[in-house]
Structure 1
């Protein structure tokens, strides 16, 4: 079951969603995720389990939605005054966030989402906001940045015994800018 994206913002639906998200976050701080259940979340949020099943379908989809909510940026990417500097600051922060254990778990949860493309939409939007600051510079496209910066970063975080180093991350940024 796909998560309903067209729910109107604000109102009861938004309050219910936020209380359920808060319940998930609180319970994950208190207990192991393997022991987490929909009835526990519903009780903590003050809703019935059917409310959760109706909106998300299952626990994996709910956990993915909570993970996606954490991914939404709260502020514009840092403005260092240069395209390279902005990309480095953004990429270092992204690497730091997803290399942490909560970040790794968020990446695993995101894989459970039924709809695809949401991560690239969020990350692509952040990268586009950086590119928009430098309209007079030769720029790589957003897809190019996703392929050369984000993809190797995610791959190393999820499938390697150690994350991409900051030096290797900077080399990927240099490669992306040089091949623009």
Structure 2
């Protein structure tokens, strides 16, 4: 956890939580409107209705703030659903992923992480959270006695193509595409 994240985590309730939520929302809106490269702390502060010094004190600079917001939005702390079937678990997980990254906020967050080349830690944490979700899905399948791919195979054959398709606007990228990617993975093609 970065020093800025420690400061943010140390005051989780009350006014601090409201400021955090307002700043994250303002940053997300501005990223969607302008792109991450055209967002500044003064603009975020104005939109959030907070003093810019509050933002500098918590995050240090705009790059740290945008990376933090993108990480929060890209890799939520969610537990994948357990349907009792590996294919359905992977399809549901991947459909939720697609819904998330193809939303304006998710797409903006994805662009932010990609643009933040100096923030490799953020990218790595986002990928680790997604890999942890896949690990859980695959462990459930193992316990049920289902044959399963590796985490790397799921990341390479489902997660990566979805991100690529969303970033480059490859159509169709929808639930049928998700099912196709999962089916190809599980059939070994």
TM-score normalised according to structure 1 size: 0.78
Correspondence 1:169-180 to 2 at 5 A: 169-179=178-188
Which of the pair is proportionally richer in helix?
2
Residue 167 of structure 1 is matched in structure 2 by 176
TM-score normalised according to structure 2 size: 0.74
Deviation at 1:146, TM superposition (A): 0.4
Residue 147 of structure 1 is matched in structure 2 by 156
Residue 110 of structure 2 is matched in structure 1 by 107
Runs of 5+ consecutive residues of structure 2 not aligned to the other structure? none
Deviation at 1:171, TM superposition (A): 2.0
| Partner secondary structure for residue 137 of structure 1 | coil
Deviates more, 1:151-160 or 1:38-47: 38-47
Residue 122 (structure 1) aligned to one of 116, 129, 134: 129
Residue 84 of structure 1 is matched in structure 2 by 87
Structure 2 CA distance for partners of 1:131 and 1:18, relative to 1, 3 Å: farther
Whether the aligned pair in 2 keeps the contact of 1:3 and 1:55 (CA below 8 Å) is no
Structure 2 CA distance for partners of 1:94 and 1:67, relative to 1, 3 Å: same
Residue 62 (structure 1) aligned to one of 65, 85, 102: 65
For the aligned residues, what is the CA RMSD?
Answer: 3.2
Runs of 5+ consecutive residues of structure 1 not aligned to the other structure? none
Deviation at 1:169, TM superposition (A): 2.1
Structure 2 CA distance for partners of 1:6 and 1:97, relative to 1, 3 Å: closer
Structure 2 CA distance for partners of 1:112 and 1:87, relative to 1, 3 Å: same
Q: How far apart, CA to CA, are the structure 2 residues paired with 1:11 and 1:101?
A: 30
Structure 2 CA distance for partners of 1:25 and 1:104, relative to 1, 3 Å: same
